[in-house]
Amino acid sequence: MSLSLLLVRHGETPWNRERRFQGFSDVPLNERGMRQACALARCLRARQIAAVYASDLVRARSTAETIAREHGVEVRVDARLREMNQGALEGKALEDLLRDYPGLLERWLAEPAEVRMPGGESLRCAQDRAWEVVQEIRTAFSEGTIVLVGHNLCLLAVICRAVGLDLNHFRRLRIENASITEILFSGAEAVLLRLNDTRHLEEQLREDDSR
């Protein structure tokens, strides 16, 4: 028996577009993000999905609800799936970080796992709380397909834990808005089946480019 966990990053938000730190800030999807959520739902329509989990932040919850409607299931909301808390940086852009927190970017680039954001948390903390949810899912479901909708850094941290990649090397991985990453759990083993799959967005991207 095996369990397929589909890790879905939420659709685009205005702050994604503006390259602002989001963290715990409750930023909604923009119009493009809502279309991305619909594309995800169409893509996953043929999968037999047993449950949908999501962060309680509206950008993830809205994405999850769009997927869940196709399968007649309720979204199981869990605050432990939130993005890494970026504290005082939330709402700010990179130039604000460079101006207000000299040296922080260098530390984040060198050894990001344990760097605690000012007024926030570390990536390790985010990984630990999100991994608790993954372990609970594995206990509750020994087989089938589960969708988990979350956020960039938090999901990258989960992927690292699943495949045994040092969290300081998380930048070797990349997941875009509304992407799908699939991990297959069989016993104690975890296999990364696909990473950052965005093929379902191709038609939507063509429509956006033509506007």
Q: How many Å separate Cα 90 from the centre of its chain?
A: 17
Residue 181: helix, strand or coil by DSSP?
strand
In single-letter form, the type of residue at position 69 comes to R
Residue 115: helix, strand or coil by DSSP?
coil
Read off the DSSP letter of residue 28: P
Catalytic residues: 10, 83
Determine the straight-line distance between the first and last CA of the chain, rounded to whole angstroms. Answer: 46
Q: Check if the beta carbon of residue 29 is closer than 8 Å to that of residue 17.
A: no
